[in-house]
């Protein structure tokens, strides 16, 4: 399953979203979309 982090959690670096988002879909501030290679494999392209 693909997860997309949207407002108000975009650019948030605290742990407030951990309770509602699976922890393994949250990455550091360089990857604000919360996506990685796994998400690209699911068909989600954060580049557009």
Ranges of H-type helices in the chain: 37-41
Closest among 47, 10, 15, 3 to 29, alpha carbons compared: 10
* 6-20 pLDDT per residue, tens: 777 777 677 776 777
Q: Is a pLDDT exceeding 70 seen at residue 4?
A: yes
What's the structural domain count of the chain? 1
* 18-48 pLDDT per residue, tens: 777 666 666 665 544 444 555 555 555 555 5
| Res 38: pLDDT | 54
For residue 19, the enclosing domain spans: 1-48
């Amino acid at each position: 399953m693909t997860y997309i982090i949207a407002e108000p959690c975009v650019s948030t670096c605290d742990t407030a979203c951990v309770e509602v988002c699976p922890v393994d879909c949250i990455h550091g501030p360089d990857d604000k979309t919360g996506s990685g290679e796994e998400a690209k494999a699911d068909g989600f392209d954060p580049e557009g």
